[in-house]
Amino acid sequence: MSAGSNDIFVNAAITIPAWEVSEAFVRASGPGGQNVNKVSTAVQLRWNVEASSIQVDVKVRFKRRYRARITSGGDIIIEAKEHRSQALNREAARKRLVKMLLEVAEPPKRRVRTRPTFGSVKRRLASKKRRGTVKALRGKIADED
């Protein structure tokens, strides 16, 4: 399957077809002078994670990482309004989606359990002992009569 011109290319394994993404242009606050009152330059990019055609493992990692940003319908909404141009905001929103997907594309490395060295255990126990004696010395001094 060849990638279309509006498809979002993430990496060799992940490409989001253009039909999976919807973009709405709205009026933005911020820089632009009188232009912001007339032209809808801000973009709201909407992509349904649940119904997407990306690999299941990437989808699971994406949903786990960005669960707070995903709507109840399974959509992720990315808003871009930092530029005065509609085209630049559209590109910024797409780049943000690509960045988010790249962060979850690679499976996390498995943690290799290690044991503390003998010396570090000795040092830790010695410092705990010192701290305990310091605290013990803070007690009341008994009268010797």
90, 83 contact by CB (below 8 A): no
pLDDT: is 30 or 40 the higher one? 40
Counting beta carbons within 10 angstroms of the beta carbon of residue 42, is it exposed (0 to 12), middle (13 to 18) or buried (19 or more)? Answer: buried
Q: Is residue 49 part of a domain?
A: yes
Q: Which amino acid is located at 30 in the chain?
A: G
Q: Is residue 118 part of a domain?
A: no
CATH number at residue 92: 3.30.160.20
How many domains, in total, are found in the chain?
1
pTM of the model: 0.65
Whether the per-residue pLDDT at 122 is higher than 90: the answer is yes
Q: Is residue 86 part of a domain?
A: yes
- pLDDT score, position 116: 94
Q: Which domain, by its residues, includes 60? A: 8-105
- pLDDT score, position 70: 83
Summarised one tens digit per residue, pLDDT across range 50-66 is: 877 888 888 888 888 88
Most confident of 41-55, 109-123, 130-144: 109-123
Mean pLDDT of 95-101: 88
Q: Is residue 114 part of a domain?
A: no
- CA gap 111, 108 in Å, rounded: 9
Q: Is residue 88 part of a domain?
A: yes
22 beta partners: 46
Locate the DSSP E strands across the chain: 8-9, 15-16, 21-26, 42-48, 75-80
